[in-house]
Structure formats: C-alpha cells, structure tokens
Chain A
Amino acid sequence: MTGEITYVKAINAALAEAMRDDGRVIVIGEDVAEGGPYLATEGLADEFGSERVRNTPISEGAVCGIAVGAAQAGLRPVVEIMFIDFITLALDQLVNQAAKAHFMSGGQLSVPMVLRTQGGAGGRAGAQHSQSLEAWLTHIPGLKVVMPATAADAAGLLRAAIADPNPVVFVENKSLYFRREPVPETPEPIELGRASVLRRGGDVTIVALSRLVGEAMAAAERLAADGIEAEIIDPRTLVPLDLDTIAASVRRTGRAVVAHEAVRTGGFGAELAAELQAAAFDYLDAPIQRVGAPFTPVPLSPPLEDGYRPQSDDVYAAARHAVQWADVEEPVPLSDTGRSRGE
C-alpha cells in the first residue's frame, strides 16, 4: 500500500509513529510544538502533549546537551536544529559529548538521540540559512550521518535513526520538503548503511546526495538520449557508508561522478572519490568527476544563487566529460559557468 505525500509529511508521520510505538521518544527544539517553520512537527503536541513535544528557547547548545543527557538517562530524544547553519552553536554537545560518550566511557554510556536538521540553498535566505555542512559531521567518529533524498527514504531512515543506539544526525533538505512522492502507508525502518540504486546503467556511475539525486535522475534522461546509460546511486547514509555497492558499480562502469550541493572543496564527494579510486583504481577509464558548489558563501541574489546551486546540467556535463575522457586526446574544456565540475 502506498500513497502520495510530501517529504516533510513523511517525516511528520514517521515521528508520530515512533512516538506512538515508544514512550521514550520525545521531540525537543525551537517552536516544535507549533510545527516549526516547515511544519515537520505539526500536530505532535496535540497528540502527545507538551511534555513530550517540548518547545525550547533559542539555546541550541543547551538544547542539544539536554538531548544528550536525556538520551544517556534512557529517553530517545529527537532534537530539531531548525537550520543546519545553527548546528555550529551545538557542536560542543554533539561532537565533544554525544559522539564520544560511548567510547570514552568504555561502553557504559550510549546516546540514542537523533538530531534532525535541514540544509541546502534555493530559499533566497542568504549565506547563514542555506549551507550544506554534512561533511563536517562525517569527520567525527561516533556520529552517524543520514541524508534522505526521497519521502519514502526520509520516513524509513528516520524510523531506523530513532531506533539506533547512537547519535544520528539526520540532514533533510528544505527544497525537497514539499514534493509529493509515493510513500508506503506504514514505512518500515530502512537499515542505515544501505545505498539505494535508483537507476541501472553500464556507462557511468553517478553517486548523488540529497537534492542532487533528483538532479542526477534528470541528467540520466538526457544522457540516455545521447546513448549513455548512467547508473544512479544514492548512498542515503554517509556514515555508515555502503562503499561496497558503490565500488561494485564503478568497477562495472569504469567511470564515476560524485555530486552534492555542498561546497566542492572538502565536501563528502572528496571522500567518495578517494575511497573509489582506491577500491576501483584498475577499473577506472577516467578521473572521478566531482560536482559541487563553488568555494563561496551562498549568495542571496536570485540569479547568483541559481547559478551557485549545482543542477542536472552540471551532473550531465560531468558525466559526459567522464565518458568522453578516453575518446579525446586533450581533456574537454570545463564550462565557464563558474560552477566546479570535472578535474
């Protein structure tokens, strides 16, 4: 049984299901009782009350720390940081405390909490409400990092994240929130660490994160019209990473593009490219191509922001570049759009 709902409604429903199933689950954050700016927590306070759906002041550090302490004491808090940009204020609690508690206590403590947040540009919101900061978090042993690209994955991965005994950062994307997509009536948890292969193809592997998954699917249609069959893989969770599935695909296609909205420099695509060249070096027919945002803060001006965000055109061009690599003596020139693609 499936129905069509939006990504944000799928998250809302998954939260409600988790709260019904387990009295230890609480939701805590700024304006969560009112539903928050995107209505992800709408209606939860009516059903579960203000003790379990707990509004907080604008105190990201303390709110994250309260979630850590409550998790160590046996609750399963889902804390909302309204924009991933504000996670900067909570990093001591997330990185120094939550991520290390299990290890530093020799296994005595565990922190079964989920930190929900959302990133991405496109909202004309300027550089402090539009970033994609997930790569920072993947650098911290002890954290898990989830980035769902579809409504169904958002629901299933959120259920798994809440059930997980570790701190999980769940990174949503504001420009996916209101797309209507098919979602199972009662989504089953989706195991963390399982990539999703969205399209089969033998010519090039495109590994895309979050919003770029949709862009990659659109690029694949254009590539198909050119006679190039792309395989599209969404890792869904960055930590743990399903490298086996991705590397197996690249060994088969011999070409890889990694695509995300985050700034390319130091982005998670760099980690993917490094792991893939090690896992598939002898199979590669072209350098691994990276698609990401340029090394600037997110601009406000609409034409500048639109130019800043990687789109399907960028994924298409990077895939063409990879496929043509062996056919040309000189690498084809990079486009002059200012967006970074290719090497």
Chain B
Amino acid sequence: MVERETALDLLRTMWRIRCFEERVATLHHRLQVHGLVHLSIGSEGVAAGVCRRLRDDDAVYSGHRAHGHALAKGAPMDRVMAELMGRSAGLCQGLGGSMHLVDTQHGLMGATGVVGGNLPMAAGDALAARLRGEDRVTVVFFGDGAVQAGHFNETVNLAALWELPLIFVCENNGMAEFTPRSAHTKVARVIDVVAPYDFERRLIEGSDVGAVWTAFGEYLEQARSGTGPFLLECSTHRRSGHYEGDQQSYRDALADAEWAQLDPIARLEARGKDEGWLDDEAAAGLTAHADAEVDAAVRFARDSPPLSADDAAALVYAT
C-alpha cells in the first residue's frame, strides 16, 4: 500500500505529464513543437512510480517516448517544453528535441531515438557506478519493441553476467510502432524472454501506479546494495498513436469504459475517492495546477530564441 502523501505526489506527477503532453499534441498540430513526437499518455504510472523513487544521482536512460520520464525525474517543465520547441533555453539548448532529452543535473543521462540503443549505455553507466564505488542505481526504460533488437539480448546477457546494479523497466504496450507484439514474436511476456538468465523479474499492471511504486521499490533497495540486474515489466496502454500524426488505421479506438480501466490517473483518482483522500475539488485543483504550469512553460519557451548556428557548431566537440 502506498501512503497518502506518496499517492498524492504520484497523482500530481501524472497530471503534470498528462497536461504537458496534451499541450504538446496541440502545439505539434500548430507546428510549434517540432519533429517526431511520441506521447506516453496511458503510461504515466510507470514514469511516476519509478522516477519518483529515485535520487538525482540515480541515472535514467530513456528512449523516444521520454517526456514522462524526464518530468518525473525532475527535469524542469519549462526547459523540457523549450527543448521540444527548439529554443536555446531548452534542456539541450534546442539541439536534441523530443527524442533526445538529457538533464544530467537530474540524472537523465540520455534518451535515444534509435530503439534499443539506450540499453548498453545504461549497462555502461551501471558498470561505472560499481567501479567508482558509488551506491547509485541505473534504470533503463524501453518498450516491448526493443526486445526484438539485438542490443537487448547482448545487454541482458552482460548485465546478468556482471550482476550490474541495473533495473530494466519495460513499458509493454503490446505495440511496436504500428504492429501488435503478436506479429513480431512468439513470446508474449518480456519476463519470459529473459527467463534463462534467471534474475529477478516481475510483470505488473503499469496502470496501477501503486503497484509500480511498490514493486520498483523492492528492486531499488536491492540494486542500491550493488546487486542486479532486475526486470520490471509494466503492461500499459498506448492511448496515442506511435507518433503525433499517426492515423492509427491499424487499430480501433477503445471504448471510454475500457480506457477508464487502463488509465493510471483515472484508476488512482477512483481509489483516492474510495479511500477518502481525494474529492472532486482536490482532483480538479491538481489538474488546474498542472495546466497553469504548462501555460507558464509555453510562455517561457516562446520567450527564448533558437541557438545561433555558430554556438551550435561550437558544441560538436567537447573541449
């Protein structure tokens, strides 16, 4: 069970992500957010339940669907928005964008647009933590689509062989881009893919943020003491298309009642009302607060110019 304060923090975090991404969708349609944008609406519970457990020096490696992980890990929303809008005040001075969010100050060490490319880098981070005698933990987020990539097996093998303090967090939304998982592999559950390596692994419902918080916390405690790896597989529903603009002709929309069962925010709010720590007014307040933060983030981003070409060119090599 999750304490009331924790539950409220998780709900607040999920609303921040949801309101941010809904605005990103709007801004993308208006051509103010650029490029390939992948929303995580439906899997905010995983981002919140995992990242709110972590310290700033714990490292997170993410993929192309990274907004939620960045916000939950502590990246300031205004600088994330500025990054998506290609502005110099962005986290990465507008040179990375939606798929490449980095905030080293908050331990967001990389997000990659190449599916599965983040996995070995996360293992390298965990190796460095061990060799440097640090008690920090590395978390790598990936989707079920990455599991069929060669890097996945190479990395799982090495992480298991070297017993790295690395927690694999799979957001299994059952879809690899436009195609259901069943069309790509015979193995439905990712925990079964890694079974021969025999490290601790568990499949939970990602829409139950309390379950994510609890299960991840158990792995985190062990990884903190230097053991690993672990796999937490979270089943989630990808509410949006693969990317913004995806017509989704490959699937039918969910009925509202079905979505309410899969929506981590609706589930936690229903529980809060059942348990009496949330009412309609408080819930509306959380949403309004998140929306106001998004408004301010958009204003902040709009006020920032893009980086100059000379300043960008000066960042090709470290000095």
Q: Is the CB of A73 within 8 A of B109?
A: yes
A180 at the interface (CB under 8 A from B): no
Report the Cα distance A112→B150, complex, angstroms: 25
Contact digits for B93-111, partner A, Cβ 8 Å, 1 yes 0 no: 1111000101110000110
User: From residue 108 to 127 of chain A, which have CB atoms closer than 8 A to chain B?
Assistant: 108-112
Q: Is the CB of B123 within 8 A of A65?
A: yes
Q: Which of B113-121, B181-189, B239-247 lies at the binding interface?
A: B113-121
Closest residue on chain B to residue A66 by CB atoms = B124
Q: Is the CB of A107 within 8 A of B59?
A: no
Q: Is the CB of A142 within 8 A of B155?
A: no
B128 at the interface (CB under 8 A from A): yes
Contact digits for B80-104, partner A, Cβ 8 Å, 1 yes 0 no: 0000000000111111100010111
Q: Is the CB of A109 within 8 A of B110?
A: yes
Residues of A within 8 A of B120 (CB): 61-66, 68-69, 93
Q: Is the CB of B96 within 8 A of A105?
A: yes
A252 at the interface (CB under 8 A from B): no
A26 at the interface (CB under 8 A from B): yes
Q: Is the CB of B104 within 8 A of A104?
A: no
Q: Is the CB of B319 within 8 A of A165?
A: yes
A4 at the interface (CB under 8 A from B): no
Residues of B within 8 A of A166 (CB): 317-318
B125 at the interface (CB under 8 A from A): yes
Interface centre among B93, B96, B119, B127 (most CB of A within 10 A): B127
Interface centre among B59, B104, B112, B161 (most CB of A within 10 A): B112
Interface centre among A64, A66, A97, A144 (most CB of B within 10 A): A66
Residues of A within 8 A of B104 (CB): 105, 108-109
Q: Is the CB of A59 within 8 A of B158?
A: yes
Interface centre among B102, B109, B121, B151 (most CB of A within 10 A): B121
Q: In angstroms, how far is the closest chain B Cβ from the Cβ of A107?
A: 5
A75 at the interface (CB under 8 A from B): yes
Report the Cα distance A45→B318, complex, angstroms: 30
Closest residue on chain A to residue B319 by CB atoms = A165
A101 at the interface (CB under 8 A from B): yes
Residues of B within 8 A of A199 (CB): none
User: From residue 48 to 79 of chain A, which have CB atoms closer than 8 A to chain B?
Assistant: 51-52, 56-57, 59, 61-75, 77
Contacting A106 at CB < 8 Å: which of B93, B114, B131?
Answer: B93
Q: Is the CB of B109 within 8 A of A72?
A: yes
B315 at the interface (CB under 8 A from A): yes
Contacting A104 at CB < 8 Å: which of B100, B125, B128?
Answer: B100
Report the Cα distance A92→B121, complex, angstroms: 11
Q: In angstroms, how far is the closest chain A Cβ from the Cβ of B55?
A: 15
B195 at the interface (CB under 8 A from A): no
Residues of A within 8 A of B100 (CB): 104-105
Residues of A within 8 A of B154 (CB): 57, 59, 61-63
Closest residue on chain B to residue A144 by CB atoms = B317
Q: Is the CB of B121 within 8 A of A72?
A: yes
Q: In angstroms, how far is the closest chain A Cβ from the Cβ of B163?
A: 13
B50 at the interface (CB under 8 A from A): no
Residues of A within 8 A of B122 (CB): 69
Q: Is the CB of B95 within 8 A of A104?
A: yes
Residues of B within 8 A of A26 (CB): 131
Q: Is the CB of B318 within 8 A of A70?
A: no
Report the Cα distance A176→B103, complex, angstroms: 44
Residues of B within 8 A of A65 (CB): 117, 119-121, 123-124, 151, 155
Q: In angstroms, how far is the closest chain A Cβ from the Cβ of B151?
A: 5
B157 at the interface (CB under 8 A from A): yes
Q: Is the CB of A107 within 8 A of B114?
A: no
B316 at the interface (CB under 8 A from A): yes
Report the Cα distance A74→B125, complex, angstroms: 9
Closest residue on chain B to residue A69 by CB atoms = B124
User: From residue 233 to 254 of chain A, which have CB atoms closer than 8 A to chain B?
Assistant: none
Closest residue on chain B to residue A113 by CB atoms = B124
Q: Is the CB of B155 within 8 A of A103?
A: no
User: Quick one: given A75-B128, A105-B104, are A97 and B318 in contact (CB under 8 Å)?
Assistant: no
Residues of B within 8 A of A222 (CB): none
Closest residue on chain A to residue B96 by CB atoms = A104
Closest residue on chain A to residue B162 by CB atoms = A54
Closest residue on chain B to residue A111 by CB atoms = B318
A331 at the interface (CB under 8 A from B): no
Q: In angstroms, how far is the closest chain B Cβ from the Cβ of A161?
A: 13
B132 at the interface (CB under 8 A from A): yes
Residues of B within 8 A of A68 (CB): 120-121, 124
Report the Cα distance A59→B119, complex, angstroms: 13
Q: Is the CB of B151 within 8 A of A62?
A: yes
A sample of 15 cross-chain residue pairs with beta-carbon separation below 8 angstroms, ordered by A number, consists of A59-B157, A62-B119, A63-B158, A66-B124, A69-B125, A72-B125, A73-B109, A96-B117, A102-B315, A106-B91, A106-B92, A106-B96, A106-B315, A108-B91, A109-B104
Binding site for B on A (CB under 8 A): 26, 51-52, 56-57, 59, 61-75, 77, 92-93, 96-97, 101-112, 141-142, 144, 165-166
The 5 closest A-B pairs by CB, nearest first: A69-B124, A65-B120, A106-B93, A62-B154, A69-B121
Given contacts A72-B110, A141-B316, 10 further A-B contacts (CB under 8 A): A61-B120, A62-B155, A69-B109, A69-B125, A72-B124, A96-B114, A103-B312, A103-B315, A105-B100, A106-B90
